[in-house]
Structure 1
Amino acid sequence: MIIYILKSASCLALLLFFYHLVLEKEKMHNFNRFYLLGSVLFSFLAPLTTFTTYIKQEIIATRDVTIVPNYINNSVLITKESTIDYYQILIGIYCLISALFLLRFSYNLFKIIKKININEKIKQDHATLILVTDKILPHTFWSYIFINKAAYENGEIEEELFTHELTHVTQKHTFDVLIIELLQAVFWINPLYIFLKKAVQLNHEFLADENVINQHKNTFQYQYLLLNKAAWNNEYYLASNLNYSLTKKRLKMMTTQSSRSIILLKKLAVIPLLTGFVFLFAERVEAQEKEEIIETIVEDVPFKDKSEENLYKEYYYKNLTTQRKGKDGKYIIKKYQELNTEEKGRLIPPPPLKLEKKIPTKKQFEDLKDNTKYAVWIDGKVVKNEVLNKYKNSDFARYSNSFVHKNARSKRFPQKNQASLETKEYFKAQNTKRVKDFEIYKEIHKKLGEAEWQKLPNGEKIKIIENPKIETVEENYSKHSGEKVNTGFKDINGINHYFVTVGNKTKYYNKEGKQTNEKGASISNRKASSSNIIPGNHVTKIYFDGKIFCKFNDNIPSKRVNKNYIDATIHSSKSSKQSISPIQLQLEDVKKLYERVNSPLNVYNRKNNYYEEDRQEKPHFVRSSRERQEELKGKFSKLGTLYFKLSKEDKKKVTRPILPHAPYLKLKKNNKVFYKLKNELTEEDKLLIPPPPPAPNASNEEILKAKKAYSDWKKRTSNGNAPPPPSIVNKK
């Protein structure tokens, strides 16, 4: 909501700037009137525009498994402490102030209506004259013109003044003023509405002045008349006043001559301006297309025959991590494979492999259109509630809704409920995908059960298997999705290209491993990723007549690969048939493989990738629970230890671990920690930033200087428990 308000305010500010810079100087006051009112509406709608971009995200379906023999059974659930919701308090204060302004608006409106009711009325032309005893200049509210009774009866009201006020009446200028006043009462925090109101009222005077001059044809006499009335101070709230903003700008506008061609050009300039602002302030949504890669990585796991039900439960919870607090106050973190029978029994049973249809009722579907109560996802992508107007409840095959507790809500999704809808096509595809993935998982499990243990030089035992062959994957894919995978080579403009056809979609690749169109023209400057060539497979090389035809970008090493990395190279021949050659590994190969995968550099990269995936999960660290913050800080600490153990050459190949709270800065005052972005820091906040520690090769004098700076910071911030700087080391 805050981001939306800031975007709307920025849009309105730029529109007003354009008005004062370009439009206000020309005699096109009717156009300007609608431009100013339209600016308000446009500033509300532009940030609501949504542009969707589709990105691909690759996910690892399985992780390495390590069984810990000792279990700690005495554990209790972690409870979250309740916190004060300051956001709701600020909303309440804002609404209270808005209510006061609306009350003031209503009171002034009541005073004008009362004045209309108690004074004498006279019908004249399209207006009603209200004769009051106050010594005032004529002023207008809606179709009522307030004038001094004595001046009217003595005939002292000039004809030009009547014409001026009648213009306000016939053109309904009061409507504009009331709209701006209401907006100003609701959005009182935005000062732009003050400038907008002044611009609107001044434009009203331009319109009235122009009408007077066109009718009476005596500009200088009218200007002299206004100057004589300028000393009257009778600016009435909500009314159009004769002498409003009688400045040099208003007098000069009466004699300004505008070119029709310039006016037309300036009007046309508004079109690209509004188009540009739509693209500038629109919300951009990323929809992710997920592709899963299966890796078989197992260490010290006892394999035995299991029923398919237990195997499916293990498959469903393969990435589950539980966290409990023991009696000693320490956290116990376990993966699913580390849970004992009792702990596994506490878990909620997994949903069926093939989900059943659950169509929302008409009432449920209509309720979802309320964006104050529901955040809505369609086919895994968040959408505006208004999008539901394009659908019927029968268009969806599955519906689910979950209640969101206060401490789990975010600024982007403050609603109490989060609902997910799946269209019929998406529902069918997801069911098919789940069945296919489980079939692959069962095949991997079967191979692991049949494989023999092999002993590494350090005494450890591992099992090595080959990835599922492409024939198996192709068969499952055809069985469950109804689409076949066809591959081969095609001559395009005299040059061979490798092609992959899935269903009715075909992709082409040249000798450089880059994707091309059907005419052979490159559509990407980068090599294709190995996991995107054939669904469910990792393809690094393509062979033609026994020679390497092309290579693809190997994106597996950056993923979660442990001791048993298997390079599933695909061999292709003229007959377009694929097969995966059996893996021939001797103990010497295993030893080299083990040393390569577990080198300090590879271990650090692997751990850093795990850490970055966890760190970038939403919500951000600073808005996460205390338990998640402690978990991330622990991972960062261990990662830092691995980084400093790397050699100088290896450090040049990697990036330092990123702080879990980045890009926020961690500040501390009175031993209380809080976080702020760099651009949000006040001068007072900058004093809370701790001084940097001395360099590792610092002299004794530099260390003393750092120690004094630290001591000053400690007194300044009242932080008594912060870690001291390094002690002085005698150096020769």
Structure 2
Amino acid sequence: MNALEFFLKANLYLALFYACYHLGLRRHTFFSLNRAYLLASVVAALTLPLVELSLQTVEKLPVPVGVISLPVAVLAAPTESTGPDWETIGYGAYGLVAAGLFLRFLLRLTGVARLIARSERVPQNGFTLVRPDSERVPSFSFFRYLVLNPEDARHHADVVCRHELVHIRQWHSADVLFFELAQILFWINPVMLLYQRAIRQVHEFLADRGATTVEDSTQYATFLVEYAFSAQPDTLTNSFFNPTLLKERIQMLHRRATSRWAVWKYGLVLPLALGLLAMTSAPEKVQSLVSSISA
């Protein structure tokens, strides 16, 4: 398998998995399951293209052979190249853009580390409280560090810390870095931007649920509206407030808990993935199977 084939298959899996999430799962209140699904689907998209199946396995997979007929590409004999090697140029251009995005990622990571290093740090139980001098630094968490804006420290310390401690205890920063690296690898695929937005939504839903109760959800939603647009978050960290997620967070605070029976929807992804796996990992074998059954 060459690199182009791997990326085409991986991007196909990403699109399928995100479509399943967007259409059937994103409105559920199973936030931990949604988080696990988003992480596992990206890992699966990276590993499934490497799987090779035997004909016996293909015959057992849920492939709709009665309606699917995959074209089999016939490669012509290689001819002597007379022009530029566009394949190598394409790989080089793709890698150059990825390298630029990775450099940008390292600079942003370094910026967060420098901010923490030059600020006052107070060890706490299970985390480190960071007190920046500037009012312009928003409150956010990054792994075991909780950066508390001076204004928030004076007026909203309790609610902001409760929210950010959920991010810290559940290691949401690791998810953020994982999706940042996946975005660098699949920068050409717009689905990765949707994945990043989805994981941030789930993080905020989890943190909001951990920072409030059903009884004071209305008061908490009112606080979010009053707090709106007072800080501009860095997308590399788990900021307390992100204006683009405000509407979804308030809606989810008042959404009725999803019935446990809806968990079965997560299982629907498995046969879809297996069918796509058969069609992408053994297309000639599937074509042969379709032809024999059709005859």
TM-score range, shorter chain: 0.7 to 0.9
The answer to whether the aligner puts 1:30 opposite 2:32 as a matched pair is yes
| 2: CA distance, partners of 1:182 / 1:36 | 14
- Which residue of structure 1 lines up, in the alignment, with residue 70 of structure 2? none
How far off is 1:200 after superposition?
0.6
Q: Which 5+ residue runs of structure 2 have no aligned equivalent?
A: 57-78, 286-291
- Which residue of structure 2 lines up, in the alignment, with residue 226 of structure 1? 224
Change (3 A) 1:137 1:225: farther
| 2: CA distance, partners of 1:81 / 1:23 | 49
With structure 1 as the length reference, what TM-score do the two structures score? 0.34
- Which residue of structure 2 lines up, in the alignment, with residue 47 of structure 1? 49
- Which residue of structure 2 lines up, in the alignment, with residue 7 of structure 1? 9
Change (3 A) 1:158 1:221: farther
The answer to whether the 8 Å contact 2:138/2:233 transfers is: no
The answer to whether the aligner puts 1:16 opposite 2:18 as a matched pair is yes
The answer to whether the 8 Å contact 1:11/1:281 transfers is: no
| 2: CA distance, partners of 1:218 / 1:524 | 61
How far off is 1:102 after superposition?
0.7
Q: Which 5+ residue runs of structure 1 have no aligned equivalent?
A: 55-78, 287-522, 527-732
| 1: CA distance, partners of 2:118 / 2:191 | 37
Deviations 1:645-669 (A, max 9, x none): xxxxxxxxxxxxxxxxxxxxxxxxx
The answer to whether the aligner puts 1:252 opposite 2:254 as a matched pair is no
How far off is 1:156 after superposition?
1.7
Change (3 A) 1:158 1:284: same
Larger Rg, first or second structure (1 or 2): 1
**What is the one-letter code of the residue matched to 1:274?**
A
| 2: CA distance, partners of 1:126 / 1:40 | 30
How far off is 1:262 after superposition?
2.9
Question: Whose relative contact order is higher, 1 or 2, with alpha carbons under 8 Å and at least 6 apart?
Answer: 2
Q: Secondary structure at the match of 2:212?
A: helix
Aligned Cα root-mean-square deviation (Å): 2.6
**What is the one-letter code of the residue matched to 2:106?**
S
Deviations 1:265-296 (A, max 9, x none): 2233333333333234333356xxxxxxxxxx
How far off is 1:81 after superposition?
6.8
The answer to whether the 8 Å contact 1:102/1:186 transfers is: no
The answer to whether the aligner puts 1:134 opposite 2:134 as a matched pair is yes
How far off is 1:151 after superposition?
4.6
- Which residue of structure 2 lines up, in the alignment, with residue 180 of structure 1? 179
The answer to whether the 8 Å contact 2:140/2:148 transfers is: yes
| 2: CA distance, partners of 1:163 / 1:12 | 34
Aligned sequence identity (%): 29
Change (3 A) 1:258 1:280: farther
Q: How does 1:305-316 map to 2 (within 5 A)?
A: none
Deviations 1:190-211 (A, max 9, x none): 1111111000111100100111
Q: Secondary structure at the match of 1:130?
A: strand
Q: Secondary structure at the match of 2:245?
A: coil
The answer to whether the 8 Å contact 1:180/1:197 transfers is: yes
Q: Secondary structure at the match of 1:27?
A: coil
**What is the one-letter code of the residue matched to 1:261?**
R
| 2: CA distance, partners of 1:128 / 1:271 | 41
Q: Secondary structure at the match of 1:247?
A: helix
Q: How does 1:368-383 map to 2 (within 5 A)?
A: none
- Which residue of structure 1 lines up, in the alignment, with residue 197 of structure 2? 198
| 1: CA distance, partners of 2:194 / 2:81 | 46
Deviations 1:584-626 (A, max 9, x none): xxxxxxxxxxxxxxxxxxxxxxxxxxxxxxxxxxxxxxxxxxx
Change (3 A) 1:95 1:247: same
| 2: CA distance, partners of 1:220 / 1:148 | 24
| 2: CA distance, partners of 1:4 / 1:262 | 36
Deviations 1:389-427 (A, max 9, x none): xxxxxxxxxxxxxxxxxxxxxxxxxxxxxxxxxxxxxxx
Change (3 A) 1:220 1:113: same
The answer to whether the 8 Å contact 1:174/1:240 transfers is: yes
How far off is 1:217 after superposition?
4.0
Change (3 A) 1:133 1:98: same
Change (3 A) 1:250 1:525: closer
Point out the structure with the larger helix share: 2
Q: Secondary structure at the match of 1:145?
A: strand
Change (3 A) 1:118 1:261: closer
Deviations 1:424-473 (A, max 9, x none): xxxxxxxxxxxxxxxxxxxxxxxxxxxxxxxxxxxxxxxxxxxxxxxxxx
The answer to whether the 8 Å contact 1:16/1:196 transfers is: yes
